[in-house]
Amino acid sequence: MVETKVIYMSFSFTARFFTVIAGLLMLSQCRRAEVQQQSVKPNVLIILTDDQGYGDLSIHGNPDINTPTLDSLAHESAQFDRFYVSPLCAPTRASLLTGRYHLRTGTISVSKGMEIMQSGEVTLAEIFKANGYKTGIFGKWHNGQHMPNHPLGQGFDEFFGFCGGHWSNYFDTELEHNGEKVQTKGYITDILTDKALAFMENNKDSSFFCYVPYNAPHSPHQVPDEYFNKYKAKGLDDELASIYGMVDNIDVNVGRLLKKLDALGLDKETIVIFLTDNGPNGVRYNGGMKGIKGSVDEGGVRVPCFWRWPGIIKPGAINLPGAHVDILPTLVDLCGLSMIETKPLDGVSLAQALKGEKQVLERELFSHVAQPQLPIKAFPASVRKYPFTLIVQAEVKALYNIAIDPAQETDIRQQNPDIADQLYEDYQAWFAEVSQSLQPIPRIPISPASKVIELPTYESTFGGNLRYKEGHGWVHDWLVNWTSTRDSISWEVESPKDQLFTIYLNYTCPEGQVGSQVKIAIGNSSIVQKITDAYNPDFMPSPDRVKRKEVYEKLWKRLEMGILEVPAGNSRIVISAPVISKSEVAELKSIELERRQ
């Protein structure tokens, strides 16, 4: 009996021993797997839409729109309940890419050179590239079109899309691929997605940073019939049916991106971020908030923001307010990147909150909006220190408790003067700091890295009778009413060395107006050519669902002017008409500088 008992005890001890060992091994393997999962540098896919508001998602209570893919992504993601961007496109993009408030980067507004981000800013793409990532952007850049402000000069290996603030035609349009013009076939959102899919496929065996800034649902209101008809059938007007149709198409294309990650086996190895660049581009459902695009009110700057990384980022609501400036430091943290030297960041890492850990963050978030004109004004502006938001329009201030009053219906400034005064004082100090480094609109760089440099008239300075065709001088606009020999158009440029170019003029001129002489001068050198060929095509077909605000698109005649040298240093390129044959010289789109070999 004793022997039997001893054998039994020995067996029991052995069993327990091996059970403990097996448990320790399993725990060790789990921990090792967790460490490995977090030590592997994940891919990153950022999807940014243009002028899509917080309310343009069915998950946010909109009864008229259908966004099943984005709703599903939200459920799989950490969702920031309050995530803030800038009121306009280019400023948001500059802040997202640099982790710094847009005024620090030189990006002030959306056109006339005020959208340009200083080339000395360090972008997410540059950081990822320095860490061995392949980097690609597929869509709208809107932070400068000339090297080195171009995407290829700011850390991206591949660029497919356009550099301006909007595009004129969404069907069968001409886009840019790494500096070359490319004629496309199909709808622009589908095409941009195709290129992003190819980029992920081509780089599936190495870490990649894929930035997909779609231009929809920005105007012009162009969308395939199947999407437009779907929302017209609901009784919506043409504008809303167009916008919701564009968002619906975005939803389908986001689904294509996510399915590709799954097919490549990369869904668990990729951080997916979805957000929009400002409030909605018009008055429509916006979750009960006040304000639209261009407004510093809640509805102009609060946007959806979803982060997904299965197994690392915890799905669910995040009540901690986040902002576009936080994206860079958060990704550096999550991806375990080696940080390269940058200018001081305004954002902070939100990695703790994304992983489901407690994170306390006491700070203020600032919003500013400026028209494309100088000198820049300090207002309109807003400052947020949750739950309070101070809105300042000129010298008129209003304070709101956003936690209980998201519609900003009750101004509580009189009841809380100390809070309002402190927020206002903090804003003034912030604006003084971030605006002190602002410089005049930068000269256009004549980069030796560019084979062809186009100088559009919307980037020019002009005088006399000249005016813009549409009026605002937004991207793609051109000059008309060239009627006087005193009229002139000029561009301020800078060149690192003497460079020789063949100069071309892009113009249109009706049959009865040919014969004028055009002069292009740089310093003491000039060339003169006569406009002898009439060319006056109609506007290109534009399948707009509603009348557009932007100028329509047309083709241009290219006239070879001759050869000029752009000298080293700063200079001015000036166009004038010493002889006007009839009543008007021509309509002028741009000049092109083609490098001499």
Residue 402: pLDDT band (50, 70, 90) is very high
Confidence check: pLDDT of 517 > 80: yes
Residue of 7 and 178 predicted with greater confidence:
178
Helix axis angle for 238-263 and 68-75, nearest 10°, is 50
Looking at domain 381-435, which of 3.30.1120.10, 3.30.43.10, 3.40.50.1110, 3.30.830.10 is its CATH number? Answer: 3.30.1120.10
Q: What is the model's pLDDT at position 465?
A: 96
Query: Reduced to 3 states, what is the DSSP secondary structure of residue 249?
Result: helix
Confidence check: pLDDT of 17 > 90: no
Read off the pLDDT of each residue in 55-68 and give the average, rounded to a whole number.
98
Q: What is the model's pLDDT at position 36?
A: 38
From CA 280, how far away is CA 65, in angstroms rounded?
Answer: 14
Q: What is the model's pLDDT at position 21?
A: 39
Alpha helices in 295-359 (DSSP H): 298-301, 327-335, 351-354
- Give the percent of the chain with pLDDT over 90: 89
Class of domain 40-220+249-360: alpha beta
Residue of 23 and 68 predicted with greater confidence:
68
Read off the pLDDT of each residue in 533-542 and give the average, rounded to a whole number.
95
239-278 confidence digits (pLDDT tens):
999 999 999 999 999 999 999 999 999 999 999 999 999 9
Check: CB of residue 150 under 8 Å from CB of residue 159.
Answer: yes
Strands across the sheet with 365-368, in order?
A: 365-368, 381-385, 388-393, 396-401
Q: Which of 30, 60, 102, 142 is catalytic?
A: 142
Confidence check: pLDDT of 35 > 50: no
**In the chain, what is the straight-line distance between the N-terminal and C-terminal CA atoms, in Å?**
102
Active site residue 142: yes
Please tell me what DSSP assigns to residue 325: G
Q: What is the model's pLDDT at position 441?
A: 85
Superfamily in which the 444-595 domain is placed by CATH? Galactose-binding domain-like (2.60.120.260)
337-394 confidence digits (pLDDT tens):
999 999 999 999 999 999 999 999 999 999 999 877 778 999 999 999 999 999 999 8
Confidence check: pLDDT of 529 > 70: yes
Query: Reduced to 3 states, what is the DSSP secondary structure of residue 18?
Result: helix
pTM summary value: 0.92
Domain ranges in the chain are 1-37, 40-220+249-360, 381-435, 444-595
Active site residue 221: no
Residue 40: pLDDT band (50, 70, 90) is low
205-252 confidence digits (pLDDT tens):
999 999 999 999 999 999 999 999 999 999 999 999 999 999 999 999
- Give the percent of the chain with pLDDT over 70: 93
User: Of 120-129, 376-385, 435-444, 587-596, which range is least confident?
Assistant: 435-444
Question: What does each C-alpha distance from 88 to 111, 168, 446, 449 come to in angstroms?
Answer: 11, 19, 28, 30
Average per-residue pLDDT for the chain = 93
Read off the pLDDT of each residue in 421-449 and give the average, rounded to a whole number.
93
Check: CB of residue 47 under 8 Å from CB of residue 306.
Answer: no
Element (H, E) at 37: helix 2-39
Candidates 162, 163, 94; CA nearest to 122 is 94
115-156 confidence digits (pLDDT tens):
999 999 999 999 999 999 999 999 999 999 999 999 999 999
Q: Which of 89, 305, 335, 509 is catalytic?
A: 89
Q: Which residues pair with 530 in a beta bridge?
A: 517
Check: CB of residue 538 under 8 Å from CB of residue 565.
Answer: no
